[in-house]
């Protein structure tokens, strides 16, 4: 019996399964910075405010002078922002802030409601500013949808990257953003996250394979939703099923799965988790269980904007940052570069 349930072409955003809600892969070959965190390039021909067409290999997204996503609200779920390359500046309605990138991950529990911005400052003025980023949304169960907002930083030094050689000595790597592999465990997800309970089997892995390599994705618990996204490379096989880049594979969760890369190195994102199995009502940035709760979310947002916006701009950039940092709502400061 094959471990492969289904193979599908990836849309934008990528198709996900409960307990995940949304996943986007951002790859932008941003040019040199202009000294003000924007691109040293003309913005002519771009649909500023809604720039998603990858003109010249990069996007401004919703930014007008700096690429990124200015202030926007969330309620009822969590965002996991995995930055393999590039820089993200975070600011939110709780007066928390941060700059992270180059392998870091931010895990934010929106809970009862938060506004945040995610800007992509082009900090390098003498060289290009490549960006490689995953934006993943994972649902919260009904009992936790209205918890207090919270974010955690997983700095790159704290995220295990496990090397494992195949029978030919080819070395694969597994970056463990959530879950465990070969005795290595990810940093702890936020306390109210569905991923915080090991029984829910949430794995978020970034798997990289050199050409002509073999990797065994180990069995996990039964009854989990497990999807492998093939986003970089030319061709691969999953068990005996051939797949090509920009395809996803739905897998049985309680069986080993053997992957083979072809003539090029391959990279995959794995999302796995036990389904929450609750009704989902969603509209834009709000994910609840009923339509009435969605209407309440809009009403609450109109009433107080989830705490307002304490920043002078809806697209703040931390120009004075000396390096990566995270300032939490309670004033706690993390500075991993110092």
Give CA separation, 45 vs 37, 41, 130, in Å. 20, 12, 21
pLDDT digits (tens, 9 = 90+) for 23-70: 999 999 999 999 999 999 999 999 999 999 999 999 999 999 999 999
Structure tokens at 189: 């997800």
C-alpha atoms less than 13 angstroms from C-alpha of 281 in its C-beta half-sphere: 13
pLDDT at 338 over 80: no
| pLDDT above 90 coverage of the chain, percent | 98
SS (H, E, C) 276-295: CCCCCEEECCEEECCHHHHH
pLDDT of res. 25 = 97
pLDDT digits (tens, 9 = 90+) for 168-189: 999 999 999 999 999 999 999 9
pLDDT at 1 over 90: no
pLDDT digits (tens, 9 = 90+) for 307-336: 899 999 999 999 999 999 999 999 999 999
pLDDT of res. 137 = 98
Confidence of residue 337 (pLDDT cuts 50, 70, 90): confident
Confidence of residue 2 (pLDDT cuts 50, 70, 90): confident
Average pLDDT score, the chain: 97
Mean of pLDDT values over 149-167: 96
pLDDT of res. 333 = 96
Are the CB atoms for 80 and 154 separated by under 8 Å?
no
The residues, ordered by sequence, that sit 6+ positions from 186 with a Cβ below 8 Å of its Cβ are: 154, 159, 160, 176, 177, 178, 179, 180, 204
| pLDDT above 70 coverage of the chain, percent | 100
Phi, psi (degrees; rounded to nearest 5) at 35: 90, -10
pLDDT of res. 91 = 98
pTM strictly above 0.85 = yes
Confidence of residue 305 (pLDDT cuts 50, 70, 90): very high
pLDDT digits (tens, 9 = 90+) for 101-119: 999 999 999 999 999 999 9
- Centre a 10 Å sphere on the Cβ of residue 97 and count the other Cβ atoms it contains: 22
Q: How far is CA 20 from the centre of its chain?
A: 11
d(CA 14, CA 10): 5
């Amino acid at each position: 019996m094959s471990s492969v349930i289904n193979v599908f072409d990836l849309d934008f955003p990528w198709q996900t399964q409960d307990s995940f809600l949304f996943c986007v892969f951002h790859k932008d070959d941003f040019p040199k910075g202009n000294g003000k965190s924007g691109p040293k390039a003309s913005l002519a021909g771009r649909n500023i405010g809604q720039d998603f067409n990858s003109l010249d290999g990069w996007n401004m997204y919703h930014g007008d002078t700096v690429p990124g996503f200015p202030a926007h609200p969330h309620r009822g779920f969590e965002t996991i922002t995995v930055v393999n390359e590039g820089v993200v500046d975070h600011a939110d309605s709780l007066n928390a802030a941060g700059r992270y990138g180059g392998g870091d991950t931010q895990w934010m529990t929106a809970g009862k409601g938060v506004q945040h911005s995610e800007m992509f400052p082009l900090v390098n003025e003498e060289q290009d500013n490549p960006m490689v980023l995953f934006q993943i949304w994972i649902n919260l169960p009904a009992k936790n949808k209205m918890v207090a907002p919270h974010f955690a930083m997983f700095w790159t030094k704290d995220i295990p990257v496990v090397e494992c050689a195949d029978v030919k000595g080819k070395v694969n790597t597994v970056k463990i953003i959530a879950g465990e592999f070969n005795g290595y465990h990810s940093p702890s997800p936020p306390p109210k996250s569905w991923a915080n309970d090991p029984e829910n089997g949430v794995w978020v892995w970034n798997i990289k394979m050199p050409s002509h390599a073999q990797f065994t994705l180990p069995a996990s618990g039964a009854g989990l939703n497990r999807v492998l996204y093939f986003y970089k490379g030319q061709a691969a096989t999953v068990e005996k099923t051939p797949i090509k880049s920009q395809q996803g594979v739905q897998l049985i969760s309680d069986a080993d799965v053997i992957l083979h890369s072809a003539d090029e190195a391959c990279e995959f994102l794995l999302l796995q988790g036990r389904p929450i199995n609750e009704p989902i009502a969603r509209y834009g940035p709000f994910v609840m269980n009923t339509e009435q709760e969605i209407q309440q979310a809009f009403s609450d947002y109109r009433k107080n904007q989830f705490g307002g916006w304490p920043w002078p701009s809806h697209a703040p950039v931390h120009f004075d940052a000396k390096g990566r940092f995270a300032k939490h709502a309670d004033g706690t400061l993390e500075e991993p570069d110092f």
